[in-house]
Structure formats: C-alpha cells, structure tokens
Amino acid sequence: MSASDSSYVLVTGGTGFIGSHTVLELVTQGYNVVVADNMYNGCEEPLRRIEKLANLKDRIPLCKVDLTDKSSLREVFRQYSFSSVVHLAAVKAVGESVRKPLVYYRNNVTGTLNLLDVMVEFGVKNIVFSSSATVYKADPEGKPFREDSELGCTSPYGRTKLFMESIIQDVVNAEQGWNAIMLRFFNPAGAHESGTMGENPMQIPNNLMPYMSQVAIGKLEKLHVFGTDFNTRDGTGLRDYIHIMDLAEAHVAALKRLSANHGYEVFNIGSGSGQTVLEMIDAMSAACGKKIPYSEDPRRSGDIDTILCDPTKAAEVLGFKVSRSLEQMCADLWRWQTANPSGYGQ
C-alpha cells in the first residue's frame, strides 16, 4: 500500500493508545485514514490533536461502531473505499481477561470474524493485525522470542490474539489475493515527543509505565514491585520495552510491505534489549527528577523471569529497527503526564 493511493486505510481502535499514534504516523506519511472505534476506552480528543500535529485541513473521519455489530460495520465499508485495514481494536487487560473470559472472546474474536466477513464482502484483502508477545509460550531460560518460537498462552487475552492470528491465516490460505501481516509487539510505552498525545488509562493502569508516571505525579501513592526473586540481574522481572512512536512506525512499515503480495507473514516488534522493573524505576526517576516510591510485594502467579524480543526478522524484511532510547521513552512519557495530568480530560 502506498500513501499515493486515493482510497482509505481503515484503522480499527484508532482512538486508543497504539491506534492514535499509528493514525498520526499514517497521516503524517500521506495516507487517507478512517477510524472505526466503539469508544469503550477512547475519546475523540486524540484525533483532534493529530489533526493539529499533522496540519490537516480536514477532520479525520471517525465511525463510532462496534465490530461485534456487523451491519454497522458494513455501512462503514459502503461509505468509504478501503485498500487495507490496520486492525487494533481489542480489549487487552490480561488480568481482566481471566475474570471475564467471555467478554474477551466475544469482543476480540467475534469482532475480528465480522471484520473479515465484511472485508471479504467488499473485496478488501489487505490487513495488518496488532498481535502480542502474549501468544508465546514462556521460555524458562529467558531466550529472546523468535517468530518460530513455541506458541502457548497463559491468559484468555493471549488466546484471543492467537485465535485471531489463526483465523486470519486460514482466510489468507483459503482465498487468493490476500496479504496479512501479524505484528507481535512487546511492551509499548512512552508518548509523542510533543507531549500532546499519550496513554490515557480510564481506570488504574494495568501496565508498569503509566502506573509509574501516575505515582510520579502524585495521583497514586506508590508503585508495587511484584517479586524480587526472579532469575535476573537484580531479582525483578525483565521485559522488552518499545517506544510507542517506534511501534507506530512499525505498523506503517508493515502496511507498505502488504503491496509486495507475500501472503501471510509474522514479525516480532521490540527493541531486542530488556530492562528490569528496578531499572525502569531508575530511568523514570531520572526523567522526572525525583525518586519514585515503591514497595516490594510477593510475585504474582504466572509471572516469569524474562520476556525478550528477537527483532532480527523485522530488521531484515521490514527494514524496521527501533530508533528511540529508554531515556527518550521516559522523558516523553513524563512530558505527556505533566502536561496532561488527567489524560485527555474526560
């Protein structure tokens, strides 16, 4: 797909954290974008800020639809001519998925089935799917995950991502002309360097970085470090973090790759290096100029020592490598948090 194409790219979940930054990168590179979002965890404000950052003359079309409502989704495809879809819409909290598995299967899997049905109906055969490293089976030795590493999920959320991948792969195999890229990303964090766009948790954050930034600004009392007895250099869990704008750029690289007609492909998207929880606390403390208080709590069931990405394939095939440092990630997150203490203000 190219930015010169007069048709549209549909971005599902385009008002969310990953979605909005991906939309910004797409329109900056000249793509015509339509956003479809049920607004469950989103609001319109990110799109308004994208329009200002990208100096757009026209508003980005926003279709407030739920992918589980096929008839409404079909109307979106009737209204616009799409060349491709970037599919990010999903509920995504691992812990919540354990408590509410049916919600996750209904929303993520049924929504994807409906999307693919309508894509078939309207002859749209190009899709980039935002998957997750949660599809991999934990490696007790902490080896970096390759695209051919063993799959095996420990949560309903991870299983929905794996099911969605499998469904898309079956569609590609069943009908000629389809091109699909699965992006298995690791831990996105940070914010746009302007400080005007970032993560906007509606409740207490589930992820380390937004939780830590809310502790730093005083909205939360302290960070909880779950486990100090992991087999890592300081005893806390080690993870692979990627700047949100690097991840947005990866989605655009994948979209461009679709035009090469390679069928079904999978790429890991991460930095290839990892930081422990204590190292992340130190980095964020340096960015905000003060110590972040934390407590050492028992480790959670199912947590493993190390989750790392092997980014070799993405570099060789997509030409994608991360370009932003851990320090920039923390600085951009702090800039966003201090300028927007209540997120987008809803």
Burial of 148 (0-12, 13-18, 19+ CB in 10 A): exposed
| Residue in 16, 80, 62, 59 with CA at minimum distance from that of residue 251 | 16
Q: Which residues are catalytic?
A: 157
